[in-house]
Amino acid sequence: MIKKWVGYTNLQQELVEKYHTRKLNPLSADTLEFEQELQGYGHLLMFYNFQIHSDMSAFISGINFPPKLFIRFNSLVEMENLHLEYKKLYELMAVFMGSDFKVDTIEVSVESHISSPNTCVYFPTTNRTYGSDYPAFPLSRNLKFHDLPIPELPLECFNHYYQLSEDDRSMFSRYLRYQRMKSEEERFLGYFRLLESLTYKTKPYVDPEALEELLNDSEKCILESLNGKGSNKDIKTLISRIGRLNNSKYNTAKCIIDFYAELPSALKEGIVFENQDIQDICTLRNDITHANAYTIDEDKLAKYSSFTNALLYIALLKKLGIHQESGAKVVHRLNSYHLIQKYD
């Protein structure tokens, strides 16, 4: 899948031409497609592993140059942390692929140079699903033929990802875990939880500073008025909660509707969902979570899940510093997106 993600680039064409004219040095920077600094972490490189083969008895001769992603770390990575580092990169790439994808080889180098001898490692995999034959957000960089209206993936997004806190980065891990779930209802709830977190914002009912000043000035009076009606500790806790409650003017539906409103018109006009549908989705989520009685057919639940996933995907890309307009141009490549598209 990495090959499909990279596409057919100008550099690949140059490598073939240099090989045939005997001008190619496989150990030079000629084979480097891109390099991106990961601040305080290392460098991410995408290069071509040049291999020359020949078998005169079979009348075969040629070259292979499969793409490889390589991280050159600033500091030594202990063996027990190898799987964690692999998992970090895999979970990010799974977002760009749109699902789990097959990894052919995992190599570890003990030297700093990408051409140094490597050791292959193996990590067992479980519960993976390979739902897509093409990447959701391909690299689209330096292409020989750019025949799809897909924006170029900004390389800075890799640095954004590695600068995230562990809590924020765990959202990408959870997203992949929810994708793997067999139950549509569980996938829907998982997508919703992440979307709720990523779109959450606060707005006060009244000016927070004015309210805080009022509560501070009134605390003594409130304690006296409620004397004997509760402990001073509980009353003070109640007063402090008033300040936090003041910032909860926006509920989940409002936050998601506002996020949806910011998306390009072309995207919204091409799908069957509107603001009222978001309200219905939030109601369904609450009914499921609180074990309320509800009825929904499988097709409608699948549409709700697909729509929630589409918004979540754009929100995750935004977390990587990728503008919503770019996300809106690739979100249709997600599995099941066709369920929410309008058809004339």
pLDDT band per the 50, 70, 90 thresholds, residue 29 = low
Residue 3 confidence (pLDDT) above 70: yes
Greatest alpha-carbon pair distance for the chain in Å reads: 100
Nearest to 158 by CA among 233, 71, 231, 81: 71
pLDDT confidence of residue 80? 84
Of residues 102 and 167, more confidence is placed in: 167
Q: How many whole angstroms separate alpha carbon 139 and alpha carbon 158?
A: 12
Residue 144, number of CB atoms within 10 A of its CB: 13
Residue 110 confidence (pLDDT) above 80: no
pLDDT band per the 50, 70, 90 thresholds, residue 132 = confident
pLDDT tens across 285-320, in order?
999 999 999 899 999 999 999 999 999 999 999 999
Q: What value does the mean pLDDT of the chain take?
A: 88
Of residues 342 and 128, more confidence is placed in: 342
pLDDT confidence of residue 127? 67
Q: What 8-state DSSP symbol labels residue 73?
A: E
Task: For tokens 């001769």, name the residue.
Answer: 61
Residue 130 confidence (pLDDT) above 70: no
Percent of the chain having pLDDT more than 70?
93
Q: How many whole angstroms separate alpha carbon 20 and alpha carbon 182?
A: 50
- Alpha carbons within 13 A on the beta-carbon side of 24: 21
pLDDT band per the 50, 70, 90 thresholds, residue 117 = low
H-run or E-run covering 20: helix 10-20
pLDDT tens across 63-85, in order?
888 899 999 999 888 888 888 99
pLDDT confidence of residue 238? 81
pLDDT confidence of residue 239? 80
Provide mean pLDDT across the span 129-134. 75
Residue 112 confidence (pLDDT) above 60: no
pLDDT confidence of residue 275? 92
Read off the pTM.
0.85
Provide mean pLDDT across the span 248-252. 75
Q: Which amino acid is at 93?
A: M
Q: Which amino acid is at 170?
A: S
Provide mean pLDDT across the span 115-128. 70
Residue 104 confidence (pLDDT) above 80: yes
pLDDT confidence of residue 11? 92
Of residues 324 and 223, more confidence is placed in: 324
Q: How many whole angstroms separate alpha carbon 301 and alpha carbon 303?
A: 5
pLDDT tens across 35-46, in order?
999 999 999 999
Provide mean pLDDT across the span 229-242. 82
pLDDT tens across 141-164, in order?
999 988 888 999 999 999 999 999
pLDDT band per the 50, 70, 90 thresholds, residue 262 = very high
